A and B are shown apart, each in its own frame.
Chain A
Amino acid sequence: MDAMEEIKQVFFQECEEQLFELEAGLLTIERGDFDPETINAVFRAVHSIKGGAGAFNLTDLVHFAHVFENTMDLVRVGKLEPSPGLIKLMLRAADILADLVRAARDDDTSDPGPREAMAAELKTWTPGAIPPPQAAAPPPVAVAPKEASRNNDDGFVFVPTKVDLNDFEDLSLAPTTHFRVIFRPKAELYAKGNETTILFRELGRLGPMHVACDISELPPLEDMLPEGAYLSWTVHLETSEEEDKIKAIFDFVEWDSTLEIEVTDGMRADDAKEEPFVFKPTMVDLSLLETIVPDPIDGAEASVIEPLASAAKPPQAAPAPAKAEKPSGDDHAPAEKKDAAAATIRVDLERVDRLIDLVGELVINQAMLTERVAELGLARMSAVSIGLDELEQLTREIQDSVMAIRAQPVKSVFQRMPRLVREVALQTGKNVRLVTEGEGTEVDKTVIERLSDPLTHMIRNAIDHGLEKPDVRRAAGKPEEGLLKVAALHRSGRIVIEISDDGAGINRSRVRSIAVEKGLIAADAKLSDEDIDNLIFLPGFSTAAVVSDISGRGVGMDVVKRSIQALGGRISILSRPGLGSTFTMSLPLTLAVLDGMVVSVAGQTLVIPLTAVVEILLPQATTVHNFGGNARVMGVRSEFIPLIDVGQVLQFRQEDIDPKSGVALLVEAEGGVRNALLVDAIQGQRQVVIKSLETNYGHVPGIAAATILGDGRVALILDVDAIVVDSRNDIASSLPLAG
């Protein structure tokens, strides 16, 4: 049972890959590249999913994939032109297929509505390809009403009866069709251990049949390769089943054989007069046999080599007949690509994480060792110091390489975007062309996982609010099709993701009036263009005049900004009216390390995430004021900002310290709230390895995580948001006392 589950998981993993191939292929075709290899790749992707799904009895998936495959097959054989309309339809079908795969994986039951509608739509492209039963069956139903009306005249009440059309098949009332199946196995079929007899037995279950073996290809014995395939069969089958049922039997050997199925009017006369199998003696030159059997008398090595050499020949010759057998229409061969994907292995993520932990240790240990050696006061050029330098270099290299294992290209997130864009474009009635750049840009897996949601939201926003409707665009002299560009790149040790559109840009006067209306800013506030643009990140801001179900769900850009900040990232906007907007996200490459400001508070060392720190201020006697009970505020450029003593919030000390003796860090917390954190001193800025406190202890209020410093001691990483909220509650609870 478990083994089955495991295989199933592998199947779903492969499905994801196939779905990606499918979509990538369709997009290539959409761009006007009708390379038969691409079309084949697309066909194979759907076919593989269908095949696998069949093995796991995922009937919904099989049925849909089957209809999809039928339509695609017509394109493949050139009976159907891959028009833009058809490709668009196929892209949507690919989305539905992806949904089905996911539903099957999560054991969900998906809504059959869109699937059935799509299947119906796909079928309209395959006229006549869906033969007898369904097409032929309707007449009896259509007849019924006529009878009913006639009977009604006689005062007889007709009671309609539901007729299950499937019953007709069982009753074999459906007309039978004569098929001629020509089956030519290739050597590979036998090499894979398939047995033709079983196939014919299966075929025999569909109806009466007549099998004739064609031995005309059989070479004389001396030319015959022991592993060659020389026989082919012609089967006349009379069945009420569809052609697909016949094909299904050959599903697993399809790539290793050629199969022709055609409908005939019945058995042809000449075929019927099939000659009885007559054994034709073949002349065999006995001397040839002697060369094959090593001469037992002459045991000398030289003579052994010779037969071996001649025995070695056939394999070389073997590919030739196989090639010759391939008829023109053979697209099935699973593309013997020599340029297979780079060799990869799948590794349990836990193992990689363990390795990363260990290397983190190594780095700390090495730093400690360096410190200890420095304490000894050895000469810089001593053998120990030189050895340590080398060790340091090696550990850094190991750390980089290990981090690279976890790094993945952003492709996995980007490849979901085309579908999203299609769906949103369809819902909003806009024409959108998506361009992605830098898909190969690598970033830590955890970052990728948490990037998906904000990116999705921003793309929805860009299409819904950024791009204009086609008629508006035309009026503005722009092409009807809006351009949405998503690009990823590395910049100074961070990953930068840019989402740009060529839409209308941010409507600043409207943003401003909404912000005033919602009480987010004062009516007479003086704001630069940039300030106004940034208003959209404020909580509770939503510019859409009509709340659409796409991006106006009340969660807005503030949520996006929060999730980016939670990743230690920042987001900015550049908007030009009439030309479009660009959102730029900058994120750390990994969540395993963090850039922090190391500070001292009441004798303890703390780390404050650098992303939260806006500015460093030196408190003066004139800028710090008492406010209410024990609260203090600090004047920063005509603004009063709450001053939070970190030592007190964390209960490291009870008494107030003189603000002048410390340093204040201006930090930005949730919702853009600014606060000043009072610490004793700043030690410096450092990249630290993040360690969880939850693993061996539990959550500590005000603390996000821990890290290990160069001296081997644990330092706590401050949770700025929690500290700010905490202090606010403290002040709130102290106010009644003060009053």
Chain B
Amino acid sequence: MEMHAKPETTKPRELISFIIGKQEFCVDIMSVREIRGWSPATPLPHSPAFVRGVINLRGAVLSIVDLASRLGLPTSEPSARHVIIVAQVGSQIAGLLVDAVTGILTVTAETVRPTPDVASEMARSFVKGVLAIDNRMITLITLDHVLPSQEQEAA
């Protein structure tokens, strides 16, 4: 009963956390459709390096974005242990290649700290804030700019 009395702003939200390299990230659980293992992708010609190609997701052609490459982190060749997070990005669906999924976090708005003032491109386009949980730093990212935009493609 007391929980209901809490104001709207502190309504807890759920995030999915995952690892890329040695860093931990998370995204809003509402945008995640499913999580599946890595399967070889068909490379797309004339696509940015972070686009690994396309795979077949029950009949839909799904593009795979190597999140490490997208966020400017060192990349590695994907193996069967890698994981694809199938997520809703705007009106489209994309697969995000990550190293492993660590779990689900339930946090309130106060837990999310503002982005540290780091002048990296990644921080500006993707990072929404950081969370400190059990001495871990988890970066909350948004998926809005994960897919190559049409202008980038034309260039």
Contacts and interface: CB of A to CB of B under 8 A. Distances in A.
A604 B43 contact: yes
B153 interface: yes
Contact of B150 (A364, A605, A698): A698
Contact of A716 (B44, B60, B93, B148): B44
Contacts of B150: 698
Which range holds the interface residue count of chain A?
A: 20 to 34
Q: Which of A358, A699, A702, A708 has the most CB of B within 10 A?
A: A708
Nearest to A359: B59
Interface in A683-714: 691-693, 695-703, 706, 708, 712-714
B62 interface: yes
B101 to A, nearest CB: 21
A604 to B, nearest CB: 7
Contacts of A252: none
A357 B148 CA distance: 26
Given A651-B46, A701-B45, A713-B40, A692 B58 contact: no
Contacts of A700: 44-47
Contacts of A503: none
Interface string B32-62: 0000000011111111000001111011111
Contacts of B59: 357-358, 360-361, 364, 691, 708
B94 A696 contact: yes
Given A695-B92, A697-B147, A712-B56, A702 B46 contact: yes
A364 B58 CA distance: 9
Residue of A692, A697, A699 contacting most chain B CB atoms (<10 Å): A697
B63 interface: yes
B152 to A, nearest CB: 10
A713 B56 contact: yes
A652 interface: yes
Interface string B133-155: 00000000000000110100100
A714 B42 CA distance: 6
A359 to B, nearest CB: 10
Interface string B75-114: 0000000000000000011100000000000000000000
A650 interface: yes
A413 interface: no
A692 B45 CA distance: 15
Nearest to A715: B42
Contact of B45 (A360, A361, A651, A696): A651
Contact of A695 (B41, B42, B60): B60
Contacts of B62: 696
Interface string A698-739: 111111001010001111100000000000000000000000
A698 B42 contact: no
Contact of B54 (A357, A361, A706): A706
Contacts of A696: 60-63, 92-94
Interface in A440-468: none
A702 B47 CA distance: 12
Contact of B148 (A605, A695, A698, A713): A698
Interface string A575-608: 0000000000000000000000000000011000
B58 A361 contact: yes
Contacts of A702: 45-46
Contacts of A651: 45-46
A699 B147 CA distance: 12
A726 B92 CA distance: 28
B45 A652 contact: yes
> Which among A357, A604, A649, A714 has the highest number of chain B CB atoms within 10 Å?
A714
A356 to B, nearest CB: 10
Nearest to A362: B59
Nearest to B62: A696
A700 B54 CA distance: 12
Contacts of A605: 42
Contacts of A693: 44, 54, 61
B153 A698 contact: yes
A697 B62 CA distance: 7
Interface in B4-53: 40-47, 53
A706 B54 CA distance: 9
Nearest to A726: B46
Contact of B61 (A604, A695, A701, A712): A695
Nearest to B46: A701
A605 B40 CA distance: 13
A704 to B, nearest CB: 12
Nearest to B92: A696
A701 B62 CA distance: 17
Contacts of B44: 693, 697, 700, 703, 716
Nearest to B152: A698
A732 B118 CA distance: 45
A364 B45 CA distance: 24
A428 B54 CA distance: 55
B129 to A, nearest CB: 28
Interface in A354-384: 357-358, 360-361, 364
A716 B153 CA distance: 18
A489 B52 CA distance: 45
Q: Determine which residue in B41, B94, B148, B153 has the highest number of CB atoms from chain A within 10 A of its CB, and name it.
A: B153
Contacts of A698: 147-148, 150, 153
A31 B94 CA distance: 61
Contact of A714 (B45, B56, B94): B56
Nearest to B54: A714
A167 B54 CA distance: 73
B95 to A, nearest CB: 9
A713 B42 contact: yes
A361 B59 CA distance: 5
A691 B56 CA distance: 10
Interface string A624-650: 000000000000000000000000011
A474 B45 CA distance: 62
A697 B45 contact: no
Interface in A603-629: 604-605
Contacts of B47: 700
A123 B45 CA distance: 67
Interface in A287-346: none
B61 A714 contact: yes
Nearest to A703: B45
A697 B92 contact: yes
Given A650-B45, A713-B42, A714-B55, A699 B153 contact: yes
29 contacts: A358-B59, A650-B46, A651-B46, A652-B43, A652-B45, A691-B59, A691-B60, A693-B61, A695-B60, A695-B61, A696-B61, A696-B62, A696-B63, A696-B92, A696-B93, A697-B44, A697-B61, A698-B148, A700-B46, A701-B45, A702-B46, A706-B42, A706-B61, A708-B56, A713-B40, A714-B54, A714-B55, A714-B56, A714-B61
Given A696-B61, A700-B44, A706-B61, 18 more contacts: A361-B58, A605-B42, A691-B60, A693-B44, A695-B61, A696-B93, A697-B44, A697-B54, A697-B63, A697-B92, A698-B150, A701-B45, A701-B46, A702-B46, A703-B45, A713-B40, A714-B54, A714-B61
